[in-house]
Structure 1
Amino acid sequence: MELVKKIHKAHTGVLQIDGELPVSTMEELGEAYTPGVAEISKIIAKNHDLASEYTVSGKLVAIITDGSAVLGLGDIGPQGGLPVIEGKALLYKRLANVNAIPLALDQVNVDEFVQTVVNISKSFAGIHLEDIAAPRCFEIEQKLAEKLDIPVYHDDQEGTAIVVLAGLINAAKVVNKKLTDLKVVINGVGASGLATAELLFKSGIKNIVLVDQKGVINSKETSLNDYQYDLMKRIDLGSDAKTLADAMKGADAFVGLSVGNLVTKEMVESMNQGIVFALSNPIPEIDPELAHEAGAAVIATGSSQHPNQVNNILAFPGLFKGLLENHVDHFSSEMEASVAQGLASMISDPKPEKIVPGVFDKNVVKTVSDAVTNFVKNED
């Protein structure tokens, strides 16, 4: 950790802005800046849509956080969340050659947050929301998607859902079960849990049980927020289970999007050829070795220290590369499913220790961006 602190401090972060044009002669100065830019400004003034062709606004993504729900750290404020979105901007550039800029906003009310993003949106080709607490994150994304004509993506929701679905597609093959026949228990009903449940449900998995810190939730509970209630109205099968342990009995898959050390060996033993996705970071819901001892057939974590790293890095760089290249102005659950299928297809012969590609597999970004391209073509 001392080395990490030293590196980040020495470079004042992990990003810098570089130019596309040289400025070493008067002629080059005139082309890059005045008087040349006046001609570009006049062109755009006549047709605002041309800004995306003549300026960086056609290829720049804004990564925006208020630091209210940073993975493993909680509410640490916008400045505290800045290193995370800086790092993601670096990953965009290094992995997919996508230009992104981190923006930390104060924790203002939803409408003020939305209006701030709308007010600066002319500079960007896409909005990547990050580490914003539920339930406000749902309303923020929904309102921005309605107001903007550029894609709006919340990585904690869509990114997580995509990689979990990709992993489950191949995990189901390993245990010789149909994806749509799986009984899936999702622990954690925040942004990641709800979005994952939504995508799994739309992908044909109908037996889904959601669990929070109080136990199994259902549509009759009065403590649910509007987004939880809306989802539960559609997916609630009236499970008799009350606790996480109850829910995991006979379950085919467990998806942990909560906190560490929550699942016991006995819970995994009670599953049906258990698929265990213990994705909490930095501490998984159950140690992979313990899950293996308990008879889990497939185990995945969010960590690079174990096989089957189910991490959003597999999704967002290639996703935005595809969105920008295809000038996509919206993002849908159908596109999420197509990207997940593309990721899953990279593993031709899934094994217990290999259900998703590695985060540094050079084909990941192309596969994901191609999935977006193919989806757009088929949609047309």
Structure 2
Amino acid sequence: MPKITDLKLENLEALFPENFTPDQIAEGQTLFLKELAESMHEFYGGKMQTVPKAGYYGFNWFNVWYSPGVSRVSTEIRDNPERSFDLSNRGNLVAVVSDSTRVLGDGDCGPAGGLGVMEGKAYLMKYLGGVDAIALCIDARGDDGKSDPKKIIDFVKMVQPSVGAVNLEDISQPNCFEVLDTLRETCDIPVWHDDAQGTGCVTLAGLINALKVAGKKLEEVKITMLGAGAANSSIASLIIQAGGDPQKIILCDAAGTLHSGRTDFRDNPGFYKQWELCQRTNPNMVNSIEEAMKGADVLIALSRPGPDTVKPEWVRSMADKAICFVCANPVPEIYPHAAKAAGAYIVATGRGDFPNQVNNSLCFPGLLKGALLVKARKITDTMAIAAAYAIAGVAEKKGLSPDYIAPLMNETETFPAVAKAVALQAIEDGVARHEMTGDEVYAQAKREIDEARALTHHLIDN
């Protein structure tokens, strides 16, 4: 029986017989990872724990860390609330908040159903970004049994004094739009919706490099987007802000495509993000995914898990050197081998067991670290775009190819580089409480990331 530390999981294909088809291997990998996840979570009792960051040097130190000595900390923060970032762990602590109404591809899992994902976010924040985080799954349901966005908003406002930032996660649309936009304007700390903004950031990063490999320009390419939820709405917005032409973008959903004739979005205030895009994109009112895919340079799909959501014939109708981002969880809309067989030049997914993983994990640990280090009041879209270019830059330095357009999660330098870019952009945008040089941000972020990893490996070794 191999030890846990021997399970590197680097070549899952070797687990399956040689006569398995690519589809069977991909499906088997998914099932294997799910079953291993359940057994390992049960073995450890989850993924996270709380450990002291200050030492115990003898009995009287309890009187320093608690009463009576800690009274001075309380009165100092009372008289100057900003000192809470310096005298407590608030300055490096993120609340990962969810109502669990849209957990990965599994939908509404009940208030506690998102704990595995939220602990996962906390794990990645600590190991990749040197950021402490706590998973907070809340019951925001009203009398009608539906999640009430106002309850989520009120909860975040109430927990705000204890944390330096909030990561919203797995909140269904349209509630996610109201929650994020309200909290971004009313909170005095960064509120980040990783499913939307994080996905937008990392997708933009991958697209920047994919276009370089394919020899195409962002402002010139035709982009078709399958899915018009929180993720693709945010991706479209960031692409446009980064220089993409909205006239060359078509978003598709279950009802067809987004365009100025979509009265369902016009008449539903909850979907104001989609209505904005209806008015800016698809000027010719193309009204089917099949038509939208013809001649498209790029497909960005965040829709229903596959593997048959995107048809091979759609991919075959795309332009030369087509780029396909198929990022549904846990199974992409079309498997990479099938997309390549249909003519795609570059294929990216959200999974680490395929080439070109375009995953939020490349973004949020470093982005939140940078925001926390300069004590930012919010995370602007320009901060997210700066993070995207930083991610892209790390991969470009290593040498781009059709199978390498984004850094791997174990390429440590990504995260302090993102922290640096985000912190400097926060200062430029005027949302930072504290100013640092880029070198200072990079050095501190790297040091604290190294410390977090050293702690984890010390526990593994012992």
| TM-score, reference length from structure 2 | 0.80
Q: Work out the CA distance in 1 between the residues paired with 2:154 and 2:233.
A: 25
Query: Residue 287 of structure 1 corresponds to which residue in structure 2?
Result: 335
Tell me the amino acid that sits aligned with residue 262 of structure 2.
E
Of residues 328, 332, 337, the one that matches 2:376 is 328
Identity %: 37
For the pair 1:374 / 2:419, whether they are aligned, the reply is no
Q: How many aligned residue pairs are there?
A: 379
Query: Residue 342 of structure 1 corresponds to which residue in structure 2?
Result: 390
Q: Could you tell me how far 1:185 is from its partner in structure 2?
A: 0.7
Alpha carbons of structure 1 residues 5 and 263: separation in structure 2 relative to 1, 3 Å: closer
Q: Work out the CA distance in 2 between the residues paired with 1:186 and 1:141.
A: 22
Tell me the amino acid that sits aligned with residue 292 of structure 1.
K
Kept after mapping to 1: 8 A contact 2:190/2:377:
yes
For the pair 1:355 / 2:431, whether they are aligned, the reply is no
1:176-215 alignment to 2 at 5 Å?
A: 176-206=215-245, 207-215=248-256
Q: Work out the CA distance in 1 between the residues paired with 2:367 and 2:235.
A: 17
Gaps of 5+ in 2: 1-33, 142-147, 266-270, 431-462
3-state SS, counterpart of residue 178 of structure 2: helix
Q: Work out the CA distance in 1 between the residues paired with 2:282 and 2:226.
A: 16
Query: Residue 115 of structure 1 corresponds to which residue in structure 2?
Result: 154
Q: Work out the CA distance in 2 between the residues paired with 1:20 and 1:369.
A: 22
Query: Residue 43 of structure 1 corresponds to which residue in structure 2?
Result: 76
Q: Work out the CA distance in 1 between the residues paired with 2:383 and 2:46.
A: 33
- Deviation string, structure 1 residues 128-186 (Cα, Å, up to 9, x no partner): 00000011101001111121110010000111001111111111111111111111111
1:47-62 alignment to 2 at 5 Å?
A: 47-62=80-95
Tell me the amino acid that sits aligned with residue 368 of structure 2.
F
Tell me the amino acid that sits aligned with residue 326 of structure 1.
V
- Deviation string, structure 1 residues 87-121 (Cα, Å, up to 9, x no partner): 11011111111000000111331222211110111
Q: Could you tell me how far 1:262 is from its partner in structure 2?
A: 1.4
Q: Could you tell me how far 1:23 is from its partner in structure 2?
A: 3.6
For the pair 1:91 / 2:91, whether they are aligned, the reply is no
Q: Work out the CA distance in 2 between the residues paired with 1:73 and 1:93.
A: 25
Q: Could you tell me how far 1:24 is from its partner in structure 2?
A: 5.5
Q: Could you tell me how far 1:377 is from its partner in structure 2?
A: 4.2
Q: Work out the CA distance in 2 between the residues paired with 1:2 and 1:300.
A: 24
Q: Could you tell me how far 1:320 is from its partner in structure 2?
A: 0.7
For the pair 1:306 / 2:354, whether they are aligned, the reply is yes
Q: Could you tell me how far 1:247 is from its partner in structure 2?
A: 0.3
Q: Could you tell me how far 1:9 is from its partner in structure 2?
A: 2.0
Of residues 311, 314, 325, the one that matches 1:264 is 311
> Aligned-residue CA RMSD in angstroms?
1.4
Q: Could you tell me how far 1:55 is from its partner in structure 2?
A: 1.2
Gaps of 5+ in 1: none
Tell me the amino acid that sits aligned with residue 134 of structure 1.
Q
Q: Work out the CA distance in 1 between the residues paired with 2:257 and 2:355.
A: 29
Q: Work out the CA distance in 2 between the residues paired with 1:4 and 1:252.
A: 37
Tell me the amino acid that sits aligned with residue 162 of structure 2.
S
| TM-score, reference length from structure 1 | 0.96
